[in-house]
Structures are given as C-alpha cells and as structure tokens.
Amino acid sequence: MPHTYGKKPTACLALADGTIFYGKGFGATGETQAELCFNTAMTGYQEIMTDPSYAGQIVTFTFPHVGNVGVNAEDDETADPVAAGMVVKWDPTEPSNWRATERLSDWLASRGRIAIGSIDTRRLTRAIRQQGAPHAALAHDPEGNFDIAGLVARARGFAGLEGMDLAKEVTCAQSYRWDETRWAWPEGFGKQEAPRHKVVAIDYGAKRNILRCLASAGCDVTVLPATATAEDVLAHNPDGLFLSNGPGDPAATGVYAVPMIQDVMAKTQIPVFGICLGHQMLALALGAKTVKMNHGHHGANHPVKDLETGKVEITSMNHGFAVDSQTLPEGLKETHVSLFDGSNCGIRMTDRPVFSVQYHPEASPGPQDSFYLFERFAASMDEAKVS
C-alpha cells in the first residue's frame, strides 16, 4: 500500500497475507510480530497497552485521537506495556491533561514498544473483521530501510495464540498482598484498612484496577502466581477465590489451572468469582469448552444483557476466545450474553456461589453498570460465613 503523507515512511506493518502498510513510526525502534487486533474504545489507550490480556497482540486503535491525555503512572494496569505494538490513524497528539506526566511516544520508546501512525485504520479494521485477526510484523526504522520479504516471513512465522499459554509470562513471580482501593476525587487511591473477607486472587495477568475493586468491596487480597496449587490457595484459609483476566489460549493455561480450581472446589465450599480468562478457566473446570473467535471483542462500548434481570450493561471487553455456551453442562447456567453476537458473557453454578463474567466490570465504561459483581462476590462470602 503506498504511503500518502508526502514523506519517506519510517514504519511498516506487514500482514501474513503479504499486505503492506507504510506509515510514520514512533516509540521504540526495531521489529516485533504478533496477532493483530483492533480496539474501539475512545479512551484508555494507556490502560489498554498495559493490560496483560494483550500479550502477544498488536493493537489497532480505531479512535484517531490517541495521545491526547498523555500518560501517568497512576493509569498503568501493570508495571510496563504488555501489548507488542500500537497502530493509530494520526500521529500522537500533544498531551493536554492536568494528570499527564509524559508524552505517549516517549513513554513507548522508554519501554521498548513499537508504534506506527498515519495508517488507514478503517481499512485495516475492515480486513480484520472480514478475514479474522491476522498475524503481523511491525517495524520502525528512522531511516526507512525495511526488509519487506523478511517482515512478511516474520508475520507468517508467528505461531498464533491458539495453544499458547501466555499467563505464565505475565503472572507475578511470587505472592503479594494488595490493599489499594479505587481512585476517587480528590484524594486519589485509597487504602482498605478494615477488610471483611480474605480473598486469594490467582494472577493470570491481573489488572491492578480489578484488585482495587476487590479491596474496595471489603477484601483483604493475597495474589498468587498462575501456577499456584490448591494447597497454595487453601494454605491462606481464604473466604473466597478470585480468578483474574489474562492472555493466551484458555485451553493451554487450563492444563494447570483447571486441576487447581477443581481441587479447591472439591475441598471447600468458598465462593469463586472469575473475570475474562478467569471466566474461561472456571468454565473449563466445570466441564464446558472454549473456542477461538474470528476477531474477538476489544472495546469499551459492548452491550451485555443480564439474562436473569433483563438489564443491559455497557461493558469493556478484551478477549479473543469465548466460552461455548452449547457445551455448558447441567448445573451451570448462562447468565450474560453479548448483544453484538450472542456469545457467552457470564455463567454461574445453580447450587453454589460460583460465578464469572467474560467482560471487565472494573473498567467502568458504563461507568458503574457492573460494579455490582464485586459486591455480589462480597455478599456471597458474607452468606457463606453465616451458613
């Protein structure tokens, strides 16, 4: 595809089918390869780039104004960007926000993430929707020297996310405690000083704001690595078990995660709550199956219907795999569905306080449509203590 902005291109995006997009590079220099997806959110580019669920993916932003609020340390969902790269329509705008401490391009460069601008993101998004999420290679060279054949070969050589366990790559190295609560004006982040429940959270790639929501709901949170065993979990004598979001193929992560969940549920009646990959892990543990989606759900405007109340929530989503609702066994009920395509977005057991959702209630696109899920988890722990 020829470039149209009148200058020599300094970045190149190559798809596995041989399609080439030239543009203007920013952020780090070099090359990377990953699955290419698109995100429709109008805000939250920093949170998206630091969301561990985007490991192994290059993110195309359909909203053109990226960079306009800069970046700041408070909005990181994990310590550093996890997404492999960024694709935008226009060059990053200068930050204009009182919370900004750094420009987006400088932030990306200092953290080794490649980005490309001046791209026809509408054409690219249409290609992803029609053909499925392609494998891609992204290169940034200020001199504009590109080995096109080599980039296409790198894109074709990418193994893909199916069968890939990425949770082990983004999980914490050791356990830790979490007591920070949600951000509130004007104090900023708070601290949970009077928790009512002890919760073990399994980190498959946990976003910080999920942990803050748990703390805000009255939980004393202990985070364990993705490979934690049932013995590791039960050693903390928790009131509840939380299963976090994360990247990769749920079936691959389930090799070690599913036995742990099944073992915990066999030995105790504590409530269990899962989000995103945690939702998929719970479904697998209870006998359902997961499938790879054509292009996934990535955005902050996804309507989800609660089948039990009839209410519709505006949700944030980020997933390329889904629970196959046709495989739900007896005793496992579908509670939420996407109003975009009817795919499964929530389940619960009919005889135990065990439930999960595919979307991200902590991301607040509604903005508070889904926080009740954290309150439901806390209430289920209250009831379990009484019973």
Catalytic residues: 276, 360, 362
Name, in order, each residue with C-beta under 8 angstroms of 139's C-beta and a sequence gap of 6 or more.
11, 12, 14, 25, 30, 31, 114, 146, 151
Nearest Cα residue to 229 out of 260, 265, 270, 271: 260
Nearest Cα residue to 234 out of 203, 204, 263: 263
The C-alpha atoms of residue 355 and residue 275 are separated, in whole angstroms, by 9
Helix (H, G, I), strand (E, B) or coil at 231: helix
Helix (H, G, I), strand (E, B) or coil at 61: strand
The C-alpha atoms of residue 161 and residue 330 are separated, in whole angstroms, by 30
Place of tokens 């599913």: 258
Helix axes 372-386, 208-216, angle to 10 degrees: 50
Q: Please, is 286 exposed, middle or buried when counting C-beta atoms within 10 Å of its C-beta (0-12, 13-18, 19+)?
A: buried
The C-alpha atoms of residue 205 and residue 358 are separated, in whole angstroms, by 14
CA 323 to chain centre: 16
CA distances from 179 to 186, 292, 382 (A): 19, 35, 19
User: Do 179 and 49 contact (CB within 8 A), yes or no?
Assistant: no
The C-alpha atoms of residue 55 and residue 34 are separated, in whole angstroms, by 9
Name, in order, each residue with C-beta under 8 angstroms of 35's C-beta and a sequence gap of 6 or more.
56, 57, 58, 133, 134, 135, 136, 158, 160, 161, 320
CA distances from 133 to 63, 269, 319, 359 (A): 18, 40, 12, 19
Tokens read off for 108: 């990306």
